[in-house]
Structure 1
Amino acid sequence: MEKNKLIKITENFKGKKIGVIGDLMLDHFMWGDADRISPEAPIPVVVVARESFVPGGAGNTAANIAALGGKAFIVGLVGKDLAGKILLSEFKKRGIEIGGVTVHSKKPTIQKIRVVARSQQVVRVDKEDVQYVDDNVERKLLEFIVLHIKEWDGIVVSDYAKGLITKNLAENIVNLAVKYKKPIIGDVKPKHAPFFKNITLLSPNQKESLEISGVSDFEVAGKIIQKQLNCSVLLTRGAKGATLFENNNVKHFPAVAREVFDVSGAGDTVVAVATLALAAGANLEQATIIANHAAGIVVGKLGTATVGPEELKQYLES
């Protein structure tokens, strides 16, 4: 496919308004060194040199959109706690709109705390409450979406099954997207996949496609999901690349990563970039190629990372 056409699409990312709905998380990294074993247990002692915070979960999807010049409107929930304040501050730093974020007094902000020594992740600590949100929170989120969906150019749902995405919320979002003819892409946990019938594009990884379809052959799985949910499917397959199921066509795209350091967050990058591409006028095949290249860049970075416009342009040109 003509490179210039793909690059032109990425240049049209700028200013595109994307609604990002899903489970918000704070990724907290502790970076340090480990050169001895603890006398208390057979574990390394990590001396922390610095700490960093970045948006995770649906927040990482929004950060990827913002990094490429899009305008992300985040819709989700944080706790009334320090982690929530830090996360909202990180969103503001990146120019992400936070009017759709509900601050909850009883649910804590989801945190993933990673301890990294000499570029090697030593341990991850998760803080979370995965109970579904109550009707009041659901109604508040839906009201915000109804108010803003007309001005959005696309929608992405990043569902980590941490309690934000209910059946009612998911079905309402898809119905609104169909009503207003907005492209909507879902990166959703298998148990919630049935909530997303008629979505534009579902993007599971190979393991998730097996859970959704009950079939281990990825090509058969993709076709089953396509039929069950009446949507196109972008199946991400790690080092084997990605496969797009659209109408009666199945197309494979090889992986383009030059080196792989960290695959965490690559799925967020894929759906963020694919949504931006569709909003910028790409067809599904073009959106897949651009998203596949973006994922190839992001897995070469350590930690929760994003891709910049120049990086993406150079990668598409090479």
Structure 2
Amino acid sequence: MTETRVPRTWQDGAAADLAEAARQLGRGSVLVVGDAMLDRYFYGEARRMSPEAPVPVLSLQRELSMPGGAANVVRNITAVGAAAAFVSVVGDDPAGSDLTALIGRQSGVEPWLLVQGSRVTTVKTRFLAHGQHLLRADTEDPAPLDPRIAERLLRIATDVMSATTVTILSDYSKGVLAGDIPARLIEAAHKANRPIIVDPRGYDYRPYAGADVIMPNRRELQAVTGLPAETDEEIVVAARDLLSRFGIGAALVTRSEHGMSLITLAEAWHFPAEALDVHDVAGAGDTVAAVLAAGMAAKLPLAAAARLANVAAGIVVGKVGTAAARQDDILARLEPVSGNRAKIVSRDVAVEQAERWRRRGWRVGFTNGRFDRLHQGHVHLLEQARSGCDRLIVAVNSDASARRLKNGGRHIRPEADRAADLASLSSVDLVCVFDEDTPLTTIAALHPDLLVKGSDHAVADIVGADMVEGWGGTVMRAELLPASSRGNGRLPSSHAS
């Protein structure tokens, strides 16, 4: 038997090997069977107490709905580029319709969502102010499925299993995986020669007997086996007891701030926590299950898939709310960029960073343009914009968008060069590229507190001004330099590298 403590960074080219493994995550397909939930977030400000009771009054500013539970596993699978099939049950209610629509809009997903008329869709509603949770309200029906619905679910899952590479059972104890359903799905996976992963709940693991991989956390491992599970050595002993007792191939034990441990009867690996900054641990287990499954579906070695899952978990706990780790996020962690290049991000990354800044109480500003030839006039506008906020995000038109706006006119400098010019400025905190003709979609996603355009634009003509003012933000018409002082060409290379 061998046991390895894997360092935080991999030496002798191993980091590059792991990055190459991350690029393979989109090669497979994963079936997810489990409890679908709707995660709702209500954001606002709480500046006074209620006169009716000693509770804060939340002045609502915006609402966000996300797929949760097993549906969040699906979201994380597609985020790393793999295909997903999803078999679950929702209620015949508005929440079920909303959840079905959210899942249906995801690319790369084949949804099989059955509707049980007498059932209530599980909804977790969170109320937040100034980055802090005030209250969570749950609606759920944890009763087992109607027997007829359960049989339909088993038939569909068994059929879909043969068309996918790996199966995950995502059990949140909300009824979808109650009774003998897990055992029957594990038997079907064995017959189809498909590996099956279980993300369990509770302390009775008999229904999961025979799984290829199980994912208990440290407390669950200790409760199920009755053995101590604090140190590396104790984790290995307890996990092997669990594997032997239930005929399971491997255990990936999540250990909070101590990382993860992957144990088989022959080997053990311990991965230190990868989190750089912890904001929200919600959904981290879903990410681990998703990346592990995507790695197994891509035929990666189990230890490599677990390493990538550990890296992904470190990414999502640094995001806000029920988040996903994209393949680009994982590669950025394994192959970090430095200097100004780190400011250039995708729109999705910019949205997540803006939310983190707002949770710190920082005011987020936004402006946009082609910025084809960066000149002193641009710099002056951007400096004014930055003076009105704590962090400034600049969106630049993509090459295709800029050409459309130019109607096929003169040559446009490549978007990468224009983004690099902007990223070199100290007044700019993030740069993202948008492909639409207007920045309206980007503004709606970023939800800035400040929208900035030049004073040659009337407020009524500024794209997104009504939207920003509608959620309590402000619009700034920045002073423009006289045309004679703007300069005709690019800034010196020290400002445009």
TM-score, scaled relative to structure 1:
0.96
For 1:135 and 1:98, locate their aligned partners in 2 and report how far apart those are by CA, in whole Å: 24
The aligned residue for residue 56 of structure 2 is 44
The aligned residue for residue 326 of structure 2 is 308
For 1:97 and 1:141, locate their aligned partners in 2 and report how far apart those are by CA, in whole Å: 17
1:158-211 CA-to-partner distances (Å, cap 9, x unmatched) read 101111102321111111212222121111113442111111110111121122
The aligned residue for residue 131 of structure 2 is 119
Which of 290, 304, 309 is matched with 1:272 structurally?
290
For 2:151 and 2:17, locate their aligned partners in 1 and report how far apart those are by CA, in whole Å: 41
Instruction: Name the SS for the 1:195 alignment partner.
Output: helix
| Consecutive aligned runs of 4 or more in structure 1 exceeding 4 Å deviation | none
Give 1:283 shift.
1.4
Q: How many equivalent pairs are there?
A: 318
1:112-140 CA-to-partner distances (Å, cap 9, x unmatched) read 00001111111100000111112111100
The aligned residue for residue 248 of structure 1 is 266
Q: In 2 relative to 1, CA 102–25 (structure 1 residues): closer, same or farther, beyond 3 Å?
A: same
Contact 1:9 1:281 in 2 (8 A): no
Unaligned runs of 5+ in 2: 1-9, 337-497
8-17 or 37-46: bigger deviation: 8-17
Which of 240, 260, 265 is matched with 1:223 structurally?
240
For 2:334 and 2:180, locate their aligned partners in 1 and report how far apart those are by CA, in whole Å: 39
For 1:282 and 1:192, locate their aligned partners in 2 and report how far apart those are by CA, in whole Å: 30
Give 1:3 shift.
2.3
Which of 71, 76, 93 is matched with 1:64 structurally?
76
300-309 or 242-251: bigger deviation: 242-251
TM-score, scaled relative to structure 2:
0.62
- In the alignment, does 2:99 pair up with 1:82? no
1:205-232 CA-to-partner distances (Å, cap 9, x unmatched) read 1121122212232413222211112221
Give 1:15 shift.
4.9
Which of 82, 99, 121 is matched with 1:109 structurally?
121
Instruction: Name the SS for the 1:215 alignment partner.
Output: coil
For 1:291 and 1:133, locate their aligned partners in 2 and report how far apart those are by CA, in whole Å: 31
Which of 310, 331, 334 is matched with 1:292 structurally?
310
Which of 278, 283, 290 is matched with 1:260 structurally?
278
Contact 2:33 2:86 in 1 (8 A): yes
RMSD of aligned alpha carbons: 1.4
The aligned residue for residue 6 of structure 1 is 18
1:154-233 equivalence runs, <5 A: 154-218=166-230, 219=235, 220-231=237-248, 232-233=250-251
1:233-263 CA-to-partner distances (Å, cap 9, x unmatched) read 0100011000111123222110010000111
For 2:80 and 2:302, locate their aligned partners in 1 and report how far apart those are by CA, in whole Å: 19
Q: In 2 relative to 1, CA 160–86 (structure 1 residues): closer, same or farther, beyond 3 Å?
A: same
206-215 or 275-284: bigger deviation: 206-215
Contact 1:64 1:272 in 2 (8 A): yes
Q: In 2 relative to 1, CA 192–53 (structure 1 residues): closer, same or farther, beyond 3 Å?
A: farther
The aligned residue for residue 164 of structure 2 is 152
Percent of aligned pairs with the same residue? 33
For 1:101 and 1:10, locate their aligned partners in 2 and report how far apart those are by CA, in whole Å: 30
Unaligned runs of 5+ in 1: none
Contact 1:88 1:98 in 2 (8 A): no
